[in-house]
Structure 1
Amino acid sequence: MPRGSSPKRERQYEHIRDSALDRGASEKRAEEIAARTVNKERARHGESRTASRSSVEDVSSGHRGGRRSHRGAQGPTYDQLYNEARQRNIKGRSSMNKEQLENALGR
């Protein structure tokens, strides 16, 4: 958790991490799930300095409930794939469609 985060977000992080561990996720994966979820909630509520467009405009993590998880019917959204491609500095991403982004990201 980032320094200066609220006690509420700390509790939320612990709860999500423990739930993921109970479901059989590895320690590293459980921490990643918890951190991503809490960071998205912080961004949606204006508690973080920066926020990606998909964090603010996408369906909230509480409402989504895994509908767009990596194992869901359609997988991550185009915007989520595009943001990941941008972070990995993949060339030509702006002209790629969803399938091409998935292939470029190795999915």
Structure 2
Amino acid sequence: MIVEVVTGTDERPEARVVDVDDLSALYLALGAVTDEEAARSLESSGLGRLQDAETAVLDVAALRAAAEPRATAPDWSAQWDRMIVHARSGGRLSDDGANLQVDVESAASA
């Protein structure tokens, strides 16, 4: 699954969740946007925030709410649960389970 911030309508950056059925990896992909634009788009979408240039913190509930309605994999919920367990074991999930740290990548390499 990819959370991406790209230039959307009217050349305004927008955050969106894509590849919702692939839960083997999760990261933030930035298109041709500045860090400030990416931060603003993530926050206004409710999906999360930039922690720094290499890390974003995503809201787990908002991410699931954005992805699950579009998922088509029959075992999507089980895959989601495995992804969250893996994130917790890797130290990327907050203690309360509300936030998930992900890497930031250029959309060109996504």
**TM-score category of the 2 structures, normalised to the smaller one:** under 0.3
Higher relative contact order (CA 8 A, sep 6+): 2
Q: TM-score when scaled to structure 2?
A: 0.24
Q: TM-score when scaled to structure 1?
A: 0.24
> Could you say which structure has the higher helix fraction?
1
> Could you say which structure has the higher strand fraction?
2
